[in-house]
Amino acid sequence: MIRAAIVGLGWWGQNLVNSVRGSEAIRFTIAQTRAQATAAAFCAEAGLRWVGSLEEALHDKQIDAVVFATPHTQHTGQVIRAATVGKHVFVEKPFSLSLAEAARARQAADAAGVVLAIGFNRRFHPSMRLLKQAVSSGRLGTLVTISAEQTALAGISMAQESWRASPEETPAGAMTAIGVHLVDGMIDLFGPIRQVYAEVARRAAPLADDTTDVLLRFANGASGHIFCSTAATPHYRMAVYGTKGFAEVLGHPMTLFRFVPAAGGGAHGAGDPEVTETQGFNMLNAELEAFAASIVAKRPFPTPLDQIIHGVAVFEAVAASAAGGAPVSVG
């Protein structure tokens, strides 16, 4: 059993704790957040011991790992501090807002020999794995394009005092909250991205830019498009088009996977769809138990860090393109 500390106990930190209640692989025993009063009721109900500082959590000999659900700009320093004292680290996405900072954090984890995991939970969903299998097996033929959409309404109801309303924490509109998930999924499916062209707008959220569109060009020559918004009715879709078929993951909980083959002998037709539904899958539980398994087995987390670092480079390029109004090559 891996014993973990949760740092940051807002709504998402609480979701992480709740996802592994009853797990035989990992258990949260300590919590550290800015104000004890706001976390006291949850800590009491979840059986967590609140500590007053990150240092106290890091130097607790009963703790194997630290999970950070904290503001993005704090991640690099927190990862380095945890790795330096030999704690395994799980950090919520985005890993970093800067390629240079991401490299520093990774270097610290590598030097300490600890597991470093980033919370791109959607990789673990069976529907996404079916989509990846359709891509890697060749069932789709030559890959032509990939299109992804993810939306939510969090930007409309965001409180002014929320750190997520800060421009420093949320450059490029909806990218930090949502878009980085889509970038990560596209890298997993199509490989490296070589160029992006992004536009950002504020359509309905009162405090921050809420909508981002990105055109992408992959190293394999295929194109892509991302639409993400924190001010639109919640939805999710990841779709891949190829010469032999079309496949998609659909719905906010990613319940539906659909594969449609090209019709034989017809330039304009399509075959009967193959549909797989996966109800009630807990992605947060899956990623945290995978983190625990990596620690026990002394092996890297399943999501490759090279892909995570490339995703940070793509994020930097998206932010630069949105600010400059022109395509940007990914460094």
Tell me the per-residue pLDDT of 106-153, one tens digit each, with 9 for 90 and over.
Answer: 999 999 999 999 999 999 999 999 999 999 999 999 999 999 999 999
Q: Using CA atoms, how far apart are residues 14 and 251, in angstroms rounded to an integer?
A: 24
* Per-residue pLDDT tens digits for 143-182: 999 999 999 999 898 887 787 778 788 899 999 999 999 9
Same domain, 89 and 216: no
Q: Using CA atoms, how far apart are residues 171 and 148, in angstroms rounded to an integer?
A: 20
Q: What is the predicted pLDDT for the residue at 308?
A: 98
Same domain, 30 and 98: yes
* Per-residue pLDDT tens digits for 275-302: 999 999 999 999 999 999 999 999 999 9
Predicted confidence band at 266 (pLDDT cuts at 50, 70, 90)?
A: low
Q: What is the predicted pLDDT for the residue at 46?
A: 96
Same domain, 21 and 150: no
Predicted confidence band at 44 (pLDDT cuts at 50, 70, 90)?
A: very high
Residue 264: pLDDT over 80 = no
Q: Which two tokens stand for residue 33?
A: 């957040």
Q: Show which of 84, 105, 122 is a domain's final residue.
A: 122
Residue 271: pLDDT over 90 = no
- For residue 176, tell me if it sits in a domain: yes
Q: Using CA atoms, how far apart are residues 115 and 35, in angstroms rounded to an integer?
A: 28
Residue 255 is part of a domain; what is its CATH number? Answer: 3.30.360.10
Same domain, 322 and 174: yes
Same domain, 116 and 170: no
Q: What is the predicted pLDDT for the residue at 20?
A: 98
Query: In sequence order, what DSSP letters do the residues of 67-95 get, joined into one string?
Result: EE---GGGHHHHHHHHHHTT-EEEEESPS
Q: Show which of 60, 90, 122 is a domain's final residue.
A: 122
- For residue 229, tell me if it sits in a domain: yes
Share of the chain above pLDDT 90, in %: 88
Predicted confidence band at 36 (pLDDT cuts at 50, 70, 90)?
A: confident
- For residue 289, tell me if it sits in a domain: no
Same domain, 52 and 157: no
Across the range 64-73, mean pLDDT stands at 96
Same domain, 223 and 261: yes
Q: Using CA atoms, how far apart are residues 306 and 72, in angstroms rounded to an integer?
A: 19
Same domain, 244 and 154: yes
Per the structure, how many domains does the chain have?
A: 2
Q: Show which of 86, 106, 122 is a domain's final residue.
A: 122
Residue 100: pLDDT over 70 = yes
Across the range 59-74, mean pLDDT stands at 96
Q: What is the predicted pLDDT for the residue at 170?
A: 84
Q: What is the predicted pLDDT for the residue at 5?
A: 98
Domain limits for position 19: 2-122
- Using only the alpha carbons of the chain, give its radius of gyration: 20
Same domain, 221 and 179: yes
Same domain, 172 and 137: yes
Same domain, 71 and 138: no
Q: What is the predicted pLDDT for the residue at 167?
A: 78
- For residue 51, tell me if it sits in a domain: yes
φ, ψ at 72 (rounded to 5°): -55, -40
Same domain, 129 and 222: yes
Residue 74: pLDDT over 90 = yes
